[in-house]
């Protein structure tokens, strides 16, 4: 039997065999450049294109994808810069306040004006015998039964984003609770202060459980450390 007959009787290589061969010999097409020009690859539009054209098209597609991803990252960076600037302005405004009432108002105004908060709720937990109770609506006694529904939140301290249960929303936002479609809730924690800050939105998508909470944690720290010195002097 001739060599040609032996070759013709052999089964054609499978796709896997060809792929494995090319992976093991990546310089194959460098030694056989004529094949690169002769190979034809079906195009999505129906016409066949050469391997070189196919590679160029793939590189162009990858380039478009990378550019789109870069544009996304640049937009995120610009958003972070704007957020940092607003946090800076809020911090300066809080530092200028001389008392608890002024600091509370500056915090609320800053969140509404600089962070487009539709609703802002603060609840600072103080001893039940505090003389300030009744004089400031944002203060609640530590024996208030309504605080029981926040026990887990106050214990764990993790920010919460999304729609709030009706009772929690009512405690925080009062008569505006029904208009709050989504909210962010953070714990205010300081050696001399314990409480909650919530930002409510008319937009159901503004705050979602999947959203990051780094900014919220920073905001909670800023609020707590700004309010604590004034509260301890009451």
Taking the alpha carbons of 95, 101, 102, 105 in that order, is the dihedral positive or negative? positive
**pLDDT cut 90: percent of the chain above it:** 51
Average pLDDT over residues 158-187: 96
Residue of 185, 121, 184, 113 whose CA lies nearest to 154:
185
Tokens representing 128 are: 């039940």
Average pLDDT over residues 110-139: 88
Cβ atoms of 163 and 144 within 8 Å: the answer is no
Do the bridges between strand 160-162 and strand 182-190 make them parallel or antiparallel, or are there none, so unpaired? antiparallel
Q: Which helix (H) or strand (E) holds 214?
A: helix 214-232
Residue 113: count of CB within 10 angstroms of its CB:
13
Task: Round the CA-based radius of gyration of the chain to a whole number and report it.
Answer: 32
Q: Which residues pair with 125 in a beta bridge?
A: 140
Average pLDDT over residues 125-131: 86
Q: Which helix (H) or strand (E) holds 219?
A: helix 214-232
Q: What local confidence, expressed as pLDDT, does residue 111 receive?
A: 95
Residue 205 has pLDDT above 80, yes or no: yes
Average pLDDT over residues 185-212: 94
Residues 6+ apart with CB under 8 A from 119: 173, 176, 179, 180, 183, 198, 199, 200, 201
Distance CA 85, CA 116 (A): 14
Q: What local confidence, expressed as pLDDT, does residue 42 receive?
A: 63
| Residue of higher predicted confidence among 101 and 70 | 101
Residue 7 has pLDDT above 50, yes or no: no
For the stretch 91-102, pLDDT in tens is 999 999 999 999
| Residue of higher predicted confidence among 76 and 103 | 103
Per DSSP, the residues of 54-91 read HHHHHHHHHHHHHHHHHHHHHHHHHHHHHHHHHHHHHH
Distance CA 107, CA 116 (A): 13
* Arithmetic mean of pLDDT over the chain: 84
For the stretch 208-220, pLDDT in tens is 999 889 999 999 9
Lowest mean pLDDT of 38-47, 88-97, 141-150, 161-170, name the range.
Answer: 38-47
Residue 11 has pLDDT above 90, yes or no: no
How many alpha carbons fall within 13 Å on the CB side of residue 55?
Answer: 6
| Contacts within 8 Å (CB) and 24+ apart, 166-173 | 169/200, 171/123, 171/146, 172/121, 172/123, 172/196, 172/198, 172/200, 173/119, 173/121, 173/198, 173/200
Q: What local confidence, expressed as pLDDT, does residue 54 receive?
A: 61
For the stretch 173-193, pLDDT in tens is 999 999 999 999 999 999 989
Domains and CATH numbers, the chain: 1-89 (no CATH), 97-232 (3.30.450.40)
Query: For residue 121, with 0-12 CB atoms within 10 Å meaning exposed, 13-18 middle and 19 or more buried, which class applies?
Result: buried
For the stretch 23-42, pLDDT in tens is 887 777 777 777 766 666 66
Residues 6+ apart with CB under 8 A from 232: 192, 193
Residues 6+ apart with CB under 8 A from 199: 111, 115, 117, 119, 120, 183, 184, 207
């Amino acid at each position: 039997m001739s060599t040609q007959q032996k070759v013709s009787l052999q089964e054609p290589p499978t796709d896997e065999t060809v792929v494995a061969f090319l992976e093991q010999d990546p310089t194959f097409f460098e030694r056989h450049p004529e094949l690169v020009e002769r190979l034809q690859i079906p195009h999505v539009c129906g016409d066949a294109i050469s391997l070189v054209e196919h590679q160029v098209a793939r590189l162009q597609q990858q380039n478009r994808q990378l550019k789109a991803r870069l544009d996304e990252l640049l937009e995120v960076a610009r958003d972070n810069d704007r957020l940092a600037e607003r946090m800076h302005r809020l911090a300066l405004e809080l530092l200028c306040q001389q008392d608890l009432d002024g600091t509370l108002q500056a915090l609320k105004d800053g969140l509404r004006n600089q962070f487009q908060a539709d609703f802002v709720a603060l609840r600072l937990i103080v001893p039940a015998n505090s003389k300030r109770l009744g004089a400031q609506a944002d203060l609640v006694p530590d024996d208030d039964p309504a605080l029981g529904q926040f026990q887990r939140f106050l214990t764990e301290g993790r920010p919460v984003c999304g729609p709030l249960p009706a009772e929690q929303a009512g405690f925080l936002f009062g008569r505006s609770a029904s208009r709050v479609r989504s909210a962010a809730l953070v714990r205010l924690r300081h050696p001399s202060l314990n409480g909650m800050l919530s930002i409510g939105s008319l937009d159901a998508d503004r705050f979602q459980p999947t959203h990051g909470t780094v900014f919220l944690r920073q905001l909670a720290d800023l609020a707590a450390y700004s309010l604590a010195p004034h509260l301890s002097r009451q």
